[in-house]
Structures are given as structure tokens and as C-alpha cells.
Chain A
Amino acid sequence: MHKKIIAIALLGLSIWFGVAQALTLSVESDGHITGYEVVLFLHQLLFVFWLGPDLGRYIWSTRAADPSLSPTTRVTAGELINKIELFPRVCISLMLTVGGILTEAVGLTHPWWQMAGIVLLGPVWLSMVLIGHFRASTDLGKLINNTDVLFRLFMAAAILASVSYSWSTGRFDTTQWVAGKLLLFAAIVLFGMLMRIRLRPFDAAIATMSTTGPTEASDAAMSRSLGLARPYIFGIWIALALAAWLGVAQP
């Protein structure tokens, strides 16, 4: 617990450092490291460790649903999926904070209370992800996992409201691509939520497989569940790739 508090404090400090640097240093630099560059690098790393492991997670989910494999192999595949998916979940939790700090460098300034919210969101969301993953069997873990759908709905609605308001006030006039990235992020949050709902029978079948073994019904449920989740999985990948393109091209 002590280590986790230190880790979160360090994360907060590093994000604060990034904010401070992004606000005081120029976008262009050579021969030295600016805060903007550090935050931009973190932004890229989050993209890398989000989409990359997600590819592996999807491949393993097809193995877990494969009835020709032994139950032990399929359960092990389920365990691996659980481990691998921590990467994208950590990355999504920090993306808005890191992205929000970056927008300062392209001229989208925030009042102090908004910036405080942006900076706090990352550590709070990350804590929820970590507790939900590593303490899933505790009351707090269950509460967090059960409210995931509500939290994601709230986040998507908040982003949509924020973008709509800023758009109406002309705040995005010169940085429409940022609005595009935010809308894509909201779509990803929603796709993730829908994917999780669709994968519930899949997760339930994996959970019972180690004790009762697979049945024709559970195999069919897994296959159907994965099939229904697939459009959202691919949707997340496409939205991520589009968001990355907007970040690079900044049209």
C-alpha cells in the first residue's frame, strides 16, 4: 500500500512537472529536453502500450473461444487476456490527462480548476483500474468494476459536453483536430463499455470452465459473445489509428 501511494504521488509529480514545462517552454526545441517533449513522448507511449497489447489480447481471445483446445489451455488463455488487458486499461486511464496537458502547448489554455481536474483525472482513473484489477475480489474492487459502465458513460458524456461547449464558443477554431481526437476518445470509451457488456458471457464461460469444464452451450455462448464484441474491438482500433493520424497531421 505504501509503495502504491508513493507511485501515485510520483505520477502526480511527473504530470505536474509536465504541465509546468508545457506552460513555460516552447514547442520547438533542439539540444535539450522540454516538458512538452516529455509529455508528447508519454502520449506516444500510451498509444503504443494501448493498441499493441490489444492486438495480442484479441488473438488470445480467439484461442480461449476455440473448443478444439483443452479446457486448461482455454482457461490459461483467459488468464493471459486478463493480464494483457491491463496495458490498454492503464493507458486509457492516463490518456486524457496526458492529452489535456499537451493541448496547452498548442494554445488551448485551461482555467486552473479545469487543469486541476485534468491532472487529477489520470491518477484517480488509474487507481480505479488498478484496484479493479488487483483487488477484484474485495468490496471496493467489486464496486469499481460494477460501476465501470456508469463511469464510462459519465466520461463520454462529459467529453461530449465539453467539446460541444468549446466548439460553440469558437475555442476549437484553430485546433479542430483536437476536438476530433476528443470525440474519438469518447467513442473509444463507449466502444470499450459496449465491448465489455458484450463479453460478459465470454468472461462468465471462462470463469466456470475451470470448475465445470466447457459445454456445447458455453462454447456457443463464448463464440457468440466474441462475435458480438468484435465490431467494437475493431472500432476501438480504427478510432485509435484515426486519433493518432489527427495527432500527427494536425489538419
Chain B
Amino acid sequence: MEMTETFMFWKYLHILMFVGWVGADMSVFLSAKKSIDESLPFDTRITLLHMALRIELIPRTMWKAALPLGVMLSREMGLLQITDMQLAFVWIFSIVWWAISMTGAIWYDKEWGRKFAHFGNLLIFGVGVGLIAAAIASAYGYGPFDANATWLLWKVGLYGLINLTCLAIVLAYDPMGPAFGRLAVEGTSPEIEGLITRTFNIAVLPIWSTYFLVISVAFIATTKFI
């Protein structure tokens, strides 16, 4: 395959996306982990949690950007048959998806923000399941991707799965907000601290699964061994 300038441009953005996703998420994870430290005063813990959610806007953006960037790269490589109109749809959908997700994340403490977040969750589920289905269909020769590019099919399918693990993080972390609300009103207690710690520990499983899957996808893209 010829390395055109356009291909290199999208590849470069694809790598930067990887940086802003998993790389930046290290700070999110460490900040969130510190926020469950019950030896710290409440204002410190809420700042840690708030900052974790603010820094998380970077990986959140990159996670959404992976969709159109991946589509552009696949198209440049000639592995995805897609018309200009369909391409425009992918971009518009991705931008709308991102905007809904960001609105829900930025205004997480508002009722209407939570509605956006809830709708965003439905979209994540749809994208996840849709991409897994597209990868499987393509493997059998009925999908939009080249059936011979098995590494790409794995990438697409795993990205779909990543969307589901990200959704699992969101759902697992959901009780954290109300738990911190109780902490603000009632003060610390073994029950509330137990709830906060338990919530974090449950969320850790999909968080680490997501890191593992994103890194696996990058490995597949680099080695194309599969």
C-alpha cells in the first residue's frame, strides 16, 4: 500500500488519539482512586473526584474520535467501501455523539445533564453492538469492511466491545455521585465509605478491561498478526 500524505495525516491523528485516551486516563484513574481515601477531608475528596471527571473529558473525546478516525484510515487503506455521503454521516454522528456525551459529563450535577448522559449511554450501547455486528458480518462477507483484512475486523469488533466496557464503567461508577452527596450531608460513616470503596472497586474491573482492550487493539494495528 502506498503511504499517501492523507493516510499519514490520519494515522498521526490516530496515534495522538491513543495518547489522549489511555495516556491521559492514567491521571483520571489516579485522581479517582485518591478520592476514595477516607483519611482526606471532604473538600479535598470532592475536588479529586471533580478533577478526575474534568480530566476525563480528554479520554472521553478521544474515545469518540476513534470512530471517524478509524473510518478515515480504513477508507484510505481501501479496506472500507463507503460513499462520501456515508462518510459525512459518520462524521456528523460522531460529532453529535461526542457533544451529547460531553454535555452529560460536564453538567453531571444537573438533572438535564443526567438526561443527556442517559441518552449518551444508549448511543454507546448502540455503537458497541453495531460495530461488533459489522465486524462479524464483514467476516462473512456481508459487511462494509474487507473480509480479508481480519486484523481490521478484530479492531472494529474490539472497539465495539470497548464501547461496552466503557458503558460498564459509567454504570458501575454511577452510585459514586449519590454516595458523595450523602458524604456531604451526613459526614463520613463506615456504611458510606464502604459504598464508595465498593463502587470504585467494582468499576476497576471494566476500567482495566478497557485499558487492556485499547492496548490490544493498538497492538493488533501495529503487528497485523491476526
Are B51 and A59 within 8 A (Cβ)?
yes
- List, in ascending order, chain A residues with CB within 8 A of B15's CB: 44, 47-48, 244, 248
Given known A-B contacts A55-B24, A73-B43, A245-B12, A40 and B222 have beta carbons under 8 A apart: yes
Question: Which residue of A is nearest B58, CB measured?
Answer: A55
List residues of chain A with CB within 8 A of the CB of B31.
56, 60, 80
Size range of the interface on B? 35 or more
Check if A126 is an interface residue, CB within 8 A of chain B: no
Task: Confirm or deny: A30 has a beta carbon within 8 angstroms of a beta carbon on chain B.
Answer: yes
Would you call A29 an interface residue if the criterion is a C-beta within 8 Å of the partner chain's C-beta atoms?
A: yes
Is there an interface contact between B224 and A29, defined as CB atoms closer than 8 Å?
A: yes
Is the Cβ of A53 less than 8 Å from the Cβ of B16?
Answer: no
Complex interface: chain B residues within 8 A of A241 (CB): 16
CB neighbours (8 Å) of B23 from chain A are 48-53, 55, 87
10 A-B residue contacts at CB 8 Å?
A48-B19, A49-B26, A52-B21, A56-B30, A72-B43, A73-B44, A76-B44, A244-B16, A245-B12, A249-B8
Residues of B within 8 A of A (CB): 5, 8, 11-12, 15-16, 18-28, 30-31, 34, 40-41, 43-44, 47-48, 51, 54-55, 58, 215, 218-219, 222-225
A-B contacts besides A37-B225, A56-B24, A60-B31, 17 pairs, CB < 8 Å: A41-B219, A49-B23, A52-B19, A52-B26, A53-B27, A55-B20, A55-B55, A56-B26, A63-B51, A69-B43, A72-B40, A79-B34, A83-B30, A241-B16, A248-B8, A248-B12, A249-B5
Interface residues of A (CB under 8 A from B): 29-34, 37-38, 40-41, 44-45, 47-53, 55-57, 59-60, 63, 69-70, 72-73, 76, 79-80, 83-84, 87, 241, 244-245, 248-249
